[in-house]
Homo-oligomer: A and B are copies of this chain.
Amino acid sequence: MKAKVLVTYKPGVLDPQGQTICEFLRNRGESRVCDVRIGKLVEFELEDMPREKAERMLDDIGHTLLANPVIETYEVVLP
């Protein structure tokens, strides 16, 4: 079973890497790009288990290990 946790900066937290990509694209003529934000993608290969259990486990992992709760937030994505 594959699952993802997406870790992103909270709104208001500066993201120089995203800004740099955004400026580069605008300088290249991509005026349709309004904003870019960089985050972390964590892909899990899990044993088969009920969806609900997997969600609870990944929520716990996201909370305690992957995201810094001061500046980051996370989202669990199950197939």
A interface residues with partner B (beta carbon < 8 Å): 6-8, 18, 21, 24-25, 30-47, 49, 57, 61, 65-66
10 contacts between A and B (CB under 8 A): A7-B41, A8-B43, A21-B65, A24-B65, A25-B65, A32-B47, A32-B49, A32-B57, A37-B45, A39-B43
Copies of this chain, whole number: 2
Candidates B7, B36, B39, B44; contact of A33 at CB < 8 Å: B44
The reply to whether B43 and A41 form a contact with Cβ atoms under 8 Å apart is no
The reply to whether A45 and B39 form a contact with Cβ atoms under 8 Å apart is no
The reply to whether B49 and A44 form a contact with Cβ atoms under 8 Å apart is no
Given known A-B contacts A25-B61, A34-B47, A40 and B42 have beta carbons under 8 A apart: no
